[in-house]
Protein backbone atom coordinates (compact mmCIF):
# COMPACT_ATOMS: atom_id res chain seq x y z
CA UNK A 1 0.00 0.00 0.00
CA UNK A 2 2.63 2.41 1.14
CA UNK A 3 5.00 1.55 -1.65
CA UNK A 4 2.24 1.82 -4.22
CA UNK A 5 1.43 5.27 -2.89
CA UNK A 6 5.09 6.19 -2.92
CA UNK A 7 5.43 4.99 -6.48
CA UNK A 8 2.45 7.09 -7.47
CA UNK A 9 3.87 10.13 -5.70
CA UNK A 10 7.26 9.63 -7.28
CA UNK A 11 5.68 9.23 -10.68
CA UNK A 12 3.82 12.47 -10.05
CA UNK A 13 7.02 14.19 -9.00
CA UNK A 14 8.89 12.87 -12.00
CA UNK A 15 6.21 14.19 -14.32
CA UNK A 16 6.26 17.55 -12.53
CA UNK A 17 10.03 17.88 -12.60
CA UNK A 18 10.19 17.15 -16.31
CA UNK A 19 6.86 18.32 -17.68
CA UNK A 20 7.45 16.66 -21.05
CA UNK A 21 10.09 13.94 -20.76
CA UNK A 22 9.35 13.00 -24.36
CA UNK A 23 10.19 16.47 -25.65
CA UNK A 24 13.85 15.53 -25.70
CA UNK A 25 13.08 13.14 -28.49
CA UNK A 26 11.94 15.95 -30.75
CA UNK A 27 14.82 17.07 -32.90
CA UNK A 28 14.10 20.70 -33.83
CA UNK A 29 17.05 20.74 -36.18
CA UNK A 30 15.40 18.05 -38.29
CA UNK A 31 11.90 19.48 -38.08
CA UNK A 32 10.28 19.37 -41.51
CA UNK A 33 13.54 18.79 -43.28
CA UNK A 34 14.34 16.19 -45.92
CA UNK A 35 16.58 13.41 -44.64
CA UNK A 36 20.22 13.21 -45.59
CA UNK A 37 19.25 10.55 -48.16
CA UNK A 38 16.98 13.14 -49.79
CA UNK A 39 13.63 11.64 -48.70
CA UNK A 40 10.71 12.92 -46.65
CA UNK A 41 7.99 10.57 -45.36
CA UNK A 42 4.42 11.37 -44.39
CA UNK A 43 1.87 9.03 -42.79
CA UNK A 44 -1.74 10.06 -43.14
CA UNK A 45 -4.32 8.87 -40.62
CA UNK A 46 -7.91 9.58 -41.62
CA UNK A 47 -11.14 9.23 -39.69
CA UNK A 48 -9.84 8.05 -36.32
CA UNK A 49 -13.28 8.68 -34.77
CA UNK A 50 -12.19 8.48 -31.14
CA UNK A 51 -14.78 8.67 -28.39
CA UNK A 52 -17.51 6.74 -30.11
CA UNK A 53 -19.82 4.98 -27.64
CA UNK A 54 -18.00 6.83 -24.90
CA UNK A 55 -18.05 5.14 -21.50
CA UNK A 56 -18.96 1.67 -22.85
CA UNK A 57 -16.74 -1.41 -23.13
CA UNK A 58 -17.25 -1.40 -26.88
CA UNK A 59 -16.24 2.24 -27.19
CA UNK A 60 -13.12 1.55 -25.15
CA UNK A 61 -12.21 -1.42 -27.34
CA UNK A 62 -12.66 0.62 -30.51
CA UNK A 63 -10.31 3.35 -29.27
CA UNK A 64 -7.73 0.79 -28.15
CA UNK A 65 -7.78 -0.91 -31.53
CA UNK A 66 -7.39 2.43 -33.27
CA UNK A 67 -4.26 3.15 -31.23
CA UNK A 68 -2.95 -0.29 -32.25
CA UNK A 69 -3.55 0.53 -35.93
CA UNK A 70 -1.59 3.79 -35.54
CA UNK A 71 1.27 2.00 -33.75
CA UNK A 72 1.43 -0.79 -36.35
CA UNK A 73 1.48 1.67 -39.23
CA UNK A 74 4.15 3.85 -37.59
CA UNK A 75 6.29 0.81 -36.76
CA UNK A 76 6.31 -0.28 -40.39
CA UNK A 77 7.76 2.83 -42.04
CA UNK A 78 10.05 5.75 -41.34
CA UNK A 79 7.85 8.82 -40.77
CA UNK A 80 8.83 12.49 -40.59
CA UNK A 81 5.33 13.93 -40.32
CA UNK A 82 1.98 12.42 -39.42
CA UNK A 83 -1.12 14.06 -40.88
CA UNK A 84 -4.37 13.56 -38.98
CA UNK A 85 -6.74 14.20 -41.85
CA UNK A 86 -9.99 14.91 -40.07
CA UNK A 87 -12.61 13.24 -37.86
CA UNK A 88 -10.19 12.74 -35.01
CA UNK A 89 -13.13 12.51 -32.63
CA UNK A 90 -16.80 11.58 -33.06
CA UNK A 91 -18.09 14.68 -31.29
CA UNK A 92 -21.73 14.03 -32.06
CA UNK A 93 -21.66 10.54 -30.53
CA UNK A 94 -21.62 11.76 -26.96
CA UNK A 95 -23.37 14.22 -24.75
CA UNK A 96 -20.43 15.22 -22.58
CA UNK A 97 -18.58 18.46 -23.20
CA UNK A 98 -15.05 17.20 -22.59
CA UNK A 99 -14.61 15.37 -25.91
CA UNK A 100 -11.46 17.31 -26.81
CA UNK A 101 -9.79 15.39 -23.96
CA UNK A 102 -9.36 12.51 -26.39
CA UNK A 103 -6.62 14.45 -28.11
CA UNK A 104 -4.24 13.51 -25.30
CA UNK A 105 -4.75 9.84 -26.21
CA UNK A 106 -4.70 10.36 -29.97
CA UNK A 107 -1.29 12.03 -30.04
CA UNK A 108 0.51 9.41 -27.89
CA UNK A 109 1.78 7.25 -30.80
CA UNK A 110 3.53 10.34 -32.21
CA UNK A 111 4.69 11.82 -28.90
CA UNK A 112 6.20 8.46 -27.90
CA UNK A 113 8.25 8.36 -31.12
CA UNK A 114 9.11 12.04 -31.34
CA UNK A 115 7.23 12.40 -34.64
CA UNK A 116 5.76 15.78 -35.61
CA UNK A 117 2.13 15.92 -36.65
CA UNK A 118 -0.32 18.28 -38.33
CA UNK A 119 -4.12 18.01 -38.45
CA UNK A 120 -7.09 19.02 -40.47
CA UNK A 121 -10.44 18.81 -38.72
CA UNK A 122 -13.49 17.05 -40.13
CA UNK A 123 -17.23 17.29 -39.81
CA UNK A 124 -17.27 15.09 -36.68
CA UNK A 125 -14.75 17.38 -34.97
CA UNK A 126 -17.41 20.05 -34.54
CA UNK A 127 -20.67 19.42 -32.74
CA UNK A 128 -22.91 20.90 -30.07
CA UNK A 129 -20.62 19.18 -27.52
CA UNK A 130 -17.27 19.59 -29.19
CA UNK A 131 -15.58 22.88 -30.00
CA UNK A 132 -12.88 22.36 -32.67
CA UNK A 133 -10.94 25.28 -31.15
CA UNK A 134 -10.59 23.16 -28.02
CA UNK A 135 -9.06 20.36 -30.07
CA UNK A 136 -6.40 22.77 -31.31
CA UNK A 137 -5.80 23.97 -27.77
CA UNK A 138 -5.32 20.37 -26.58
CA UNK A 139 -3.10 19.45 -29.53
CA UNK A 140 -0.74 22.34 -29.03
CA UNK A 141 -0.17 21.45 -25.38
CA UNK A 142 1.93 18.57 -26.67
CA UNK A 143 5.38 18.74 -28.16
CA UNK A 144 5.24 17.85 -31.82
CA UNK A 145 1.97 19.59 -32.74
CA UNK A 146 2.33 21.70 -35.88
CA UNK A 147 -1.41 22.26 -36.37
CA UNK A 148 -2.19 25.96 -36.69
CA UNK A 149 -4.86 28.47 -37.59
CA UNK A 150 -3.67 31.05 -40.12
CA UNK A 151 -6.62 32.17 -42.25
CA UNK A 152 -8.72 34.89 -40.64
CA UNK A 153 -12.47 35.24 -40.97
CA UNK A 154 -15.68 34.83 -39.03
CA UNK A 155 -16.61 31.33 -40.10
CA UNK A 156 -13.44 29.86 -41.58
CA UNK A 157 -13.15 26.93 -39.20
CA UNK A 158 -9.83 26.21 -37.52
CA UNK A 159 -7.22 24.24 -39.46
CA UNK A 160 -6.27 26.48 -42.39
CA UNK A 161 -2.48 26.84 -42.57
CA UNK A 162 0.67 26.14 -44.53
CA UNK A 163 3.90 24.39 -43.48
CA UNK A 164 7.23 24.65 -45.27
CA UNK A 165 9.56 21.67 -45.69
CA UNK A 166 13.27 22.33 -46.10
CA UNK A 167 15.94 20.62 -48.23
CA UNK A 168 18.36 18.07 -46.77
CA UNK A 169 21.29 20.45 -47.16
CA UNK A 170 19.66 22.99 -44.85
CA UNK A 171 21.35 22.06 -41.62
CA UNK A 172 21.22 24.97 -39.23
CA UNK A 173 18.19 26.26 -37.44
CA UNK A 174 17.61 29.35 -35.43
CA UNK A 175 14.49 29.85 -33.37
CA UNK A 176 12.00 29.85 -36.20
CA UNK A 177 14.17 30.01 -39.25
CA UNK A 178 16.51 27.60 -40.93
CA UNK A 179 19.74 28.63 -42.56
CA UNK A 180 22.28 26.87 -44.72
CA UNK A 181 25.99 26.53 -43.88
CA UNK A 182 26.74 30.04 -45.08
CA UNK A 183 24.07 31.46 -42.76
CA UNK A 184 21.65 32.33 -45.55
CA UNK A 185 17.97 31.49 -44.94
CA UNK A 186 17.06 28.16 -46.56
CA UNK A 187 14.51 28.11 -49.35
CA UNK A 188 11.77 25.53 -48.66
CA UNK A 189 11.50 22.85 -51.36
CA UNK A 190 7.96 21.73 -50.52
CA UNK A 191 4.82 23.35 -49.10
CA UNK A 192 2.09 21.51 -47.22
CA UNK A 193 -1.34 23.15 -47.28
CA UNK A 194 -4.03 22.23 -44.75
CA UNK A 195 -7.69 23.22 -45.13
CA UNK A 196 -10.73 23.04 -42.89
CA UNK A 197 -13.75 21.72 -44.82
CA UNK A 198 -15.91 22.31 -41.71
CA UNK A 199 -19.31 20.56 -41.70
CA UNK A 200 -20.98 18.83 -38.77
CA UNK A 201 -22.74 21.08 -36.29
CA UNK A 202 -21.92 24.45 -34.78
CA UNK A 203 -20.54 24.10 -31.28
CA UNK A 204 -22.83 25.50 -28.60
CA UNK A 205 -25.60 26.57 -30.99
CA UNK A 206 -29.17 25.36 -30.80
CA UNK A 207 -31.93 25.81 -33.34
CA UNK A 208 -35.40 27.01 -32.33
CA UNK A 209 -36.38 23.33 -32.09
CA UNK A 210 -33.46 22.72 -29.73
CA UNK A 211 -31.70 20.66 -32.39
CA UNK A 212 -28.08 21.11 -33.47
CA UNK A 213 -27.42 23.70 -36.19
CA UNK A 214 -25.69 22.33 -39.34
CA UNK A 215 -22.38 23.95 -40.24
CA UNK A 216 -21.46 24.51 -43.92
CA UNK A 217 -19.32 21.64 -45.26
CA UNK A 218 -16.98 23.36 -47.69
CA UNK A 219 -13.77 25.41 -47.51
CA UNK A 220 -14.84 28.98 -46.77
CA UNK A 221 -14.37 31.78 -49.32
CA UNK A 222 -12.15 33.73 -46.89
CA UNK A 223 -9.84 30.70 -46.78
CA UNK A 224 -9.74 30.53 -50.58
CA UNK A 225 -8.65 34.20 -50.62
CA UNK A 226 -5.99 33.53 -47.97
CA UNK A 227 -4.76 30.49 -49.94
CA UNK A 228 -4.43 32.40 -53.22
CA UNK A 229 -2.70 35.38 -51.60
CA UNK A 230 -0.29 33.32 -49.46
CA UNK A 231 0.58 31.13 -52.42
CA UNK A 232 1.47 34.18 -54.54
CA UNK A 233 3.40 35.77 -51.64
CA UNK A 234 5.55 32.66 -51.09
CA UNK A 235 6.22 32.37 -54.79
CA UNK A 236 7.30 36.04 -55.00
CA UNK A 237 9.46 35.73 -51.91
CA UNK A 238 11.48 32.87 -53.41
CA UNK A 239 11.13 33.74 -57.08
CA UNK A 240 9.97 30.26 -58.04
CA UNK A 241 7.17 27.73 -57.87
CA UNK A 242 7.57 25.42 -54.88
CA UNK A 243 6.00 21.95 -55.23
CA UNK A 244 3.18 21.37 -52.79
CA UNK A 245 0.71 18.88 -51.31
CA UNK A 246 -2.69 19.66 -49.80
CA UNK A 247 -4.81 17.99 -47.13
CA UNK A 248 -8.52 18.51 -46.57
CA UNK A 249 -10.97 16.17 -44.85
CA UNK A 250 -13.94 16.31 -47.24
CA UNK A 251 -13.11 15.85 -50.94
CA UNK A 252 -14.45 18.32 -53.50
CA UNK A 253 -16.70 17.86 -56.49
CA UNK A 254 -13.52 17.47 -58.61
CA UNK A 255 -12.94 14.12 -56.86
CA UNK A 256 -16.52 13.17 -57.66
CA UNK A 257 -15.83 14.17 -61.28
CA UNK A 258 -12.73 11.97 -61.70
CA UNK A 259 -14.38 9.01 -59.93
CA UNK A 260 -16.19 8.17 -63.16
CA UNK A 261 -12.84 7.17 -64.70
CA UNK A 262 -11.41 5.21 -61.75
CA UNK A 263 -10.28 1.70 -62.73
CA UNK A 264 -8.81 -0.85 -60.32
CA UNK A 265 -5.54 -1.45 -62.18
CA UNK A 266 -5.01 2.23 -63.13
CA UNK A 267 -5.98 3.62 -59.75
CA UNK A 268 -5.58 0.82 -57.24
CA UNK A 269 -7.75 1.11 -54.18
CA UNK A 270 -11.24 0.45 -52.92
CA UNK A 271 -14.00 2.36 -54.71
CA UNK A 272 -17.10 1.42 -52.76
CA UNK A 273 -18.63 4.89 -52.32
CA UNK A 274 -20.21 6.26 -55.45
CA UNK A 275 -20.85 9.08 -55.86
CA UNK A 276 -18.17 10.55 -53.62
CA UNK A 277 -19.55 12.13 -50.45
CA UNK A 278 -18.28 15.63 -51.10
CA UNK A 279 -18.08 19.26 -50.00
CA UNK A 280 -21.37 21.20 -50.32
CA UNK A 281 -23.28 17.90 -50.30
CA UNK A 282 -26.94 18.32 -49.32
CA UNK A 283 -26.61 22.10 -49.19
CA UNK A 284 -28.81 24.04 -51.57
CA UNK A 285 -27.49 26.68 -53.96
CA UNK A 286 -29.18 29.40 -51.90
CA UNK A 287 -27.03 28.43 -48.91
CA UNK A 288 -29.70 26.64 -46.92
CA UNK A 289 -29.24 23.14 -45.52
CA UNK A 290 -31.24 20.69 -47.61
CA UNK A 291 -31.09 17.80 -45.14
CA UNK A 292 -29.27 14.48 -45.41
CA UNK A 293 -30.28 12.49 -48.49
CA UNK A 294 -32.05 15.49 -50.04
CA UNK A 295 -32.51 14.69 -53.74
CA UNK A 296 -33.10 18.33 -54.77
CA UNK A 297 -30.03 19.69 -53.01
CA UNK A 298 -27.47 17.00 -53.75
CA UNK A 299 -24.69 19.51 -54.23
CA UNK A 300 -24.85 23.29 -53.68
CA UNK A 301 -21.68 24.15 -55.69
CA UNK A 302 -20.16 26.22 -52.86
CA UNK A 303 -16.83 24.38 -53.24
CA UNK A 304 -16.27 25.66 -56.79
CA UNK A 305 -14.09 28.66 -55.76
CA UNK A 306 -11.85 26.27 -53.79
CA UNK A 307 -11.63 23.85 -56.74
CA UNK A 308 -10.64 26.77 -58.99
CA UNK A 309 -7.96 27.84 -56.52
CA UNK A 310 -6.56 24.29 -56.36
CA UNK A 311 -6.45 23.98 -60.14
CA UNK A 312 -4.82 27.43 -60.37
CA UNK A 313 -2.02 26.54 -57.93
CA UNK A 314 1.10 25.78 -59.94
CA UNK A 315 3.17 22.98 -58.49
CA UNK A 316 0.33 21.41 -56.50
CA UNK A 317 1.03 17.69 -56.88
CA UNK A 318 -1.78 16.08 -54.91
CA UNK A 319 -4.77 16.70 -52.64
CA UNK A 320 -5.48 14.09 -49.93
CA UNK A 321 -8.90 13.58 -48.34
CA UNK A 322 -10.61 11.23 -45.92
CA UNK A 323 -14.34 11.30 -45.08
CA UNK A 324 -15.37 8.55 -47.54
CA UNK A 325 -14.26 5.47 -45.57
CA UNK A 326 -14.98 3.21 -48.55
CA UNK A 327 -12.72 4.99 -51.07
CA UNK A 328 -8.94 4.59 -51.02
CA UNK A 329 -7.74 5.40 -54.56
CA UNK A 330 -5.77 8.22 -56.21
CA UNK A 331 -6.66 9.56 -59.65
CA UNK A 332 -4.79 12.16 -61.68
CA UNK A 333 -7.15 14.95 -62.70
CA UNK A 334 -6.25 16.35 -66.09
CA UNK A 335 -9.63 16.76 -67.80
CA UNK A 336 -11.59 20.02 -67.96
CA UNK A 337 -14.76 20.08 -65.87
CA UNK A 338 -16.94 21.46 -68.67
CA UNK A 339 -19.85 22.61 -66.54
CA UNK A 340 -17.53 24.83 -64.48
CA UNK A 341 -14.79 25.33 -67.09
CA UNK A 342 -12.03 24.29 -64.68
CA UNK A 343 -8.86 22.68 -66.02
CA UNK A 344 -7.57 19.70 -64.02
CA UNK A 345 -3.88 20.63 -64.17
CA UNK A 346 -2.67 17.10 -63.40
CA UNK A 347 -3.38 17.27 -59.70
CA UNK A 348 -3.67 13.83 -58.10
CA UNK A 349 -6.83 13.52 -56.04
CA UNK A 350 -6.32 10.88 -53.35
CA UNK A 351 -8.14 9.24 -50.50
CA UNK A 352 -6.40 7.77 -47.48
CA UNK A 353 -7.46 4.62 -45.64
CA UNK A 354 -9.99 4.56 -42.81
CA UNK A 355 -7.74 4.38 -39.73
CA UNK A 356 -10.16 4.30 -36.83
CA UNK A 357 -12.31 1.53 -35.39
CA UNK A 358 -14.90 4.24 -34.83
CA UNK A 359 -16.95 5.48 -37.78
CA UNK A 360 -18.93 3.45 -40.32
CA UNK A 361 -17.63 0.53 -42.38
CA UNK A 362 -15.42 -2.52 -41.92
CA UNK A 363 -12.86 -1.90 -44.64
CA UNK A 364 -9.45 -3.00 -43.42
CA UNK A 365 -7.88 -0.18 -41.38
CA UNK A 366 -4.60 1.52 -42.21
CA UNK A 367 -2.95 4.75 -43.21
CA UNK A 368 -1.61 6.30 -46.41
CA UNK A 369 2.14 6.61 -46.61
CA UNK A 370 3.66 9.28 -48.87
CA UNK A 371 7.30 9.23 -49.93
CA UNK A 372 8.75 12.42 -51.40
CA UNK A 373 12.32 12.56 -52.65
CA UNK A 374 14.28 15.63 -53.70
CA UNK A 375 14.95 13.88 -56.99
CA UNK A 376 11.28 13.17 -57.75
CA UNK A 377 10.29 16.69 -56.66
CA UNK A 378 12.15 18.07 -59.67
CA UNK A 379 9.49 16.27 -61.76
CA UNK A 380 6.63 17.15 -59.40
CA UNK A 381 6.13 13.44 -58.67
CA UNK A 382 5.64 11.47 -55.43
CA UNK A 383 5.30 7.81 -54.43
CA UNK A 384 2.53 6.55 -52.18
CA UNK A 385 0.95 3.37 -50.82
CA UNK A 386 -1.45 2.19 -48.16
CA UNK A 387 0.10 0.65 -45.05
CA UNK A 388 -2.51 -1.66 -43.54
CA UNK A 389 -3.00 -2.44 -39.86
CA UNK A 390 -1.55 -5.88 -40.69
CA UNK A 391 1.66 -4.02 -41.69
CA UNK A 392 1.20 -5.23 -45.29
CA UNK A 393 1.56 -2.49 -47.92
CA UNK A 394 -0.97 -2.34 -50.79
CA UNK A 395 -1.75 0.02 -53.66
CA UNK A 396 1.84 1.10 -54.17
CA UNK A 397 1.88 3.72 -56.96
CA UNK A 398 4.02 6.45 -58.38
CA UNK A 399 2.05 9.67 -58.92
CA UNK A 400 4.19 10.69 -61.90
CA UNK A 401 3.33 11.97 -65.38
CA UNK A 402 2.16 8.54 -66.59
CA UNK A 403 -0.11 7.82 -63.62
CA UNK A 404 -3.64 6.78 -64.78
CA UNK A 405 -1.92 4.96 -67.67
CA UNK A 406 0.54 2.77 -65.74
CA UNK A 407 -0.88 -0.59 -64.66
CA UNK A 408 -0.71 -1.78 -61.05
CA UNK A 409 -1.97 -4.83 -59.13
CA UNK A 410 -5.59 -4.42 -58.06
CA UNK A 411 -6.03 -3.79 -54.31
CA UNK A 412 -8.06 -6.49 -52.55
CA UNK A 413 -11.20 -5.25 -50.81
CA UNK A 414 -10.45 -6.76 -47.40
CA UNK A 415 -12.55 -6.24 -44.28
CA UNK A 416 -11.65 -6.35 -40.58
CA UNK A 417 -13.95 -6.46 -37.58
CA UNK A 418 -13.85 -5.30 -33.98
C1 LIG B 1 -15.45 12.99 -20.09
O2 LIG B 1 -16.31 12.93 -18.98
C3 LIG B 1 -16.95 11.69 -18.79
C4 LIG B 1 -17.96 11.86 -17.67
O5 LIG B 1 -17.39 12.45 -16.56
C6 LIG B 1 -15.90 10.62 -18.52
O7 LIG B 1 -16.52 9.35 -18.39
C8 LIG B 1 -14.94 10.56 -19.70
O9 LIG B 1 -13.88 9.68 -19.42
C10 LIG B 1 -14.35 11.95 -19.98
N11 LIG B 1 -13.61 11.87 -21.23
C12 LIG B 1 -12.43 12.45 -21.42
C13 LIG B 1 -11.82 12.26 -22.75
O14 LIG B 1 -11.86 13.12 -20.57
C1 LIG C 1 20.52 22.91 -51.31
O2 LIG C 1 19.76 22.11 -52.19
C3 LIG C 1 18.91 22.84 -53.07
C4 LIG C 1 18.14 21.82 -53.90
O5 LIG C 1 17.36 21.02 -53.08
C6 LIG C 1 19.75 23.77 -53.94
O7 LIG C 1 18.88 24.53 -54.76
C8 LIG C 1 20.57 24.69 -53.05
O9 LIG C 1 21.41 25.45 -53.84
C10 LIG C 1 21.40 23.88 -52.07
N11 LIG C 1 22.05 24.80 -51.13
C12 LIG C 1 23.32 24.67 -50.76
C13 LIG C 1 23.83 25.66 -49.79
O14 LIG C 1 24.04 23.78 -51.20
C1 LIG D 1 -20.87 17.35 -58.68
O2 LIG D 1 -21.70 16.56 -57.83
C3 LIG D 1 -23.03 16.40 -58.28
C4 LIG D 1 -23.78 15.62 -57.21
O5 LIG D 1 -23.18 14.35 -56.99
C6 LIG D 1 -23.07 15.73 -59.63
O7 LIG D 1 -24.40 15.65 -60.09
C8 LIG D 1 -22.23 16.53 -60.60
O9 LIG D 1 -22.17 15.86 -61.82
C10 LIG D 1 -20.84 16.73 -60.05
N11 LIG D 1 -20.11 17.59 -60.95
C12 LIG D 1 -19.11 17.15 -61.67
C13 LIG D 1 -18.48 18.13 -62.56
O14 LIG D 1 -18.75 15.99 -61.61
C1 LIG E 1 5.95 6.30 -63.37
O2 LIG E 1 6.09 5.29 -62.39
C3 LIG E 1 5.86 3.99 -62.89
C4 LIG E 1 5.93 3.04 -61.70
O5 LIG E 1 7.11 3.21 -61.01
C6 LIG E 1 6.86 3.65 -63.95
O7 LIG E 1 6.62 2.37 -64.49
C8 LIG E 1 6.78 4.71 -65.06
O9 LIG E 1 7.79 4.48 -66.01
C10 LIG E 1 6.96 6.10 -64.46
N11 LIG E 1 6.76 7.10 -65.50
C12 LIG E 1 7.67 8.05 -65.72
C13 LIG E 1 7.35 9.04 -66.78
O14 LIG E 1 8.70 8.12 -65.09
Ligand 4 atom with the smallest distance to the CA of 397 is 4
Peptide bond into 275 cis (omega under 30): yes
- Rounded to the nearest integer, the mean pLDDT of the chain is 92
- Could you tell me which residues are beta bridge partners of residue 385? 369
pLDDT of 175-196, one tens digit each?
Answer: 556 777 777 788 999 999 999 9
Q: Between 20 and 3, where is the model more confident?
A: 20
pLDDT given at position 173: 64
Q: Single out the residue of 250, 418, 241, 267 nearest to residue 345, CA to CA.
A: 241
The answer to whether the CB of 307 falls within 8 A of the CB of 253 is yes
Number of H helices, E strands in the chain: 9, 18
Name residues contacting ligand 2 (CB within 6 A): 167, 169, 180, 189, 374
State the DSSP code for 176.
S
Mean pLDDT of 345-371: 98
Give yes or no for residue 16 having a pLDDT over 60.
Answer: no
Give yes or no for residue 41 having a pLDDT over 70.
Answer: yes
* Ligand showing the shortest atom-to-Cα distance for residue 406: 4
Q: What CA–CA distance (Å, rounded) separates 151 from 163?
A: 13
Enter the pTM of the model. 0.93
Give yes or no for residue 7 having a pLDDT over 80.
Answer: no
406 CA to middle of ligand 4, Å? Answer: 7
Mean pLDDT of 4-10: 35
Confidence of residue 92 (pLDDT cuts 50, 70, 90): confident
pLDDT of 101-160, one tens digit each?
Answer: 899 999 999 999 999 999 999 999 999 999 999 999 999 999 899 999 999 998 999 999
Give yes or no for residue 271 having a pLDDT over 60.
Answer: yes
Q: What CA–CA distance (Å, rounded) separates 73 from 386?
A: 9
Helix orientation angle between 221-238 and 304-311, rounded to the nearest 10 degrees: 10
Contacts of 140 (CB under 8 A, 6+ apart): 147
pLDDT given at position 406: 98
* Ligand showing the shortest atom-to-Cα distance for residue 403: 4
User: Count of CB atoms within 10 A of residue 183's CB?
Assistant: 8
Ligand 2 atom with the smallest distance to the CA of 169 is 1
Alpha helices (runs of H) in 179-241, residue ranges in sequence order: 221-238
Q: Single out the residue of 308, 406, 388, 316 nearest to residue 352, CA to CA.
A: 388
326 CA to middle of ligand 3, Å? Answer: 19
Ligand 3 atom with the smallest distance to the CA of 253 is 1
**CA quadruple 113, 119, 124, 126: dihedral, nearest 10:** 120
307 CA to middle of ligand 3, Å? Answer: 13
Amino acid sequence: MRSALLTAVLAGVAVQAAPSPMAARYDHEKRLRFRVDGSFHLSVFSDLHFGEKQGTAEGHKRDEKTITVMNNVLDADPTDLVVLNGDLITGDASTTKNMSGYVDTIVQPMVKRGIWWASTYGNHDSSQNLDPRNILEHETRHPGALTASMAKGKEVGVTNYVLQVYPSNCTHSGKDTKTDRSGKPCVPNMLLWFFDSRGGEWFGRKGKDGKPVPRPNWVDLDVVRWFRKTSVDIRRQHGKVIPSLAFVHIPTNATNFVQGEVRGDDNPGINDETPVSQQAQYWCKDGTWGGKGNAKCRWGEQDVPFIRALSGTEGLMAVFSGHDHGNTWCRRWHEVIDSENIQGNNINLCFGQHTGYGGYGDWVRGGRHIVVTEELLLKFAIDTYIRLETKVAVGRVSLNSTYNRDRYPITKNDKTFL
